[in-house]
Amino acid sequence: MRSIPVRGHAWKALLVAVLLLVPFPATATPRGAATWVGSWGTSPTTVPASDRTSFEDQTLRQVVHLSVGGPSLRVELSNEFGTGPLVVGEARVARRDGAGSAVEPRTDRRLTFGGRTSVTVPAGAPLLSDPVALPVQAGADLVVSIHLPRRTPGSTVHAFPYQDGWVAAGNVTGARDITPTGVLGKWHFLTGVSVSGRGGAVVALGDSITDGAETTRGANRRWPDVLARRFQEDRELRHLGVVNQGIAGNRLLHDPNPPAGHPAEGYANHFGHSALRRFDRDVLAQPGVGHVVVLLGVNDLGHPGTSAPLSEKVSAQDIIGAHRQLIDRAHAAGLRVYGGTITPFKGDTLGFHSPENEAARAEVNRWVRGSGEYDAVIDFDRAVRDPADPQRLRSDYDSGDHLHPNDAGMAAMAQAVPLRLFR
The ranges assigned to domains in the chain are 53-191, 198-422
Dmax (CA) for the chain in angstroms is 88
Percent of the chain with pLDDT over 70: 92
Predicted local confidence at residue 33, as pLDDT: 52
Alpha-carbon span 297 to 254, nearest angstrom: 11
Query: Which pLDDT tens digit goes with each residue over 289-303?
Result: 999 999 999 999 999
Alpha-carbon span 362 to 226, nearest angstrom: 27
Q: Which residues contact 131 (CB under 8 A, 6 or more apart)?
A: 34, 72, 73, 74, 196
pLDDT, averaged across the chain: 93
**Sorting pLDDT into bands at 50, 70 and 90, what band is 34?**
low
Average pLDDT over residues 169-188: 97
The Cα angle at residue 140 between residues 135 and 143, in degrees rounded to 5:
85
Does the pLDDT value for residue 32 go beyond 90? no
Which residues are paired to 37 by β-bridges? 195
Average pLDDT over residues 106-120: 97
**Sorting pLDDT into bands at 50, 70 and 90, what band is 245?**
very high
Crossing angle of the two packed helices 316-332 and 355-370, in degrees rounded to 10: 30
Average pLDDT over residues 15-29: 33
Rounded to 5 degrees, φ, ψ at 252 are -70, -45
CATH top class, domain 198-422: alpha beta
168: amino acid identity, one letter: A
Average pLDDT over residues 85-114: 97
Does the pLDDT value for residue 23 go beyond 80? no
Torsion of CA 342, 343, 346, 348, to 10 degrees: -100
Alpha-carbon span 318 to 300, nearest angstrom: 9
Alpha-carbon span 407 to 213, nearest angstrom: 10
Of 327, 290, 76, the C-alpha closest to 201 is 290
Query: Which pLDDT tens digit goes with each residue over 258-290?
Result: 999 999 999 999 999 999 999 999 999 999 999
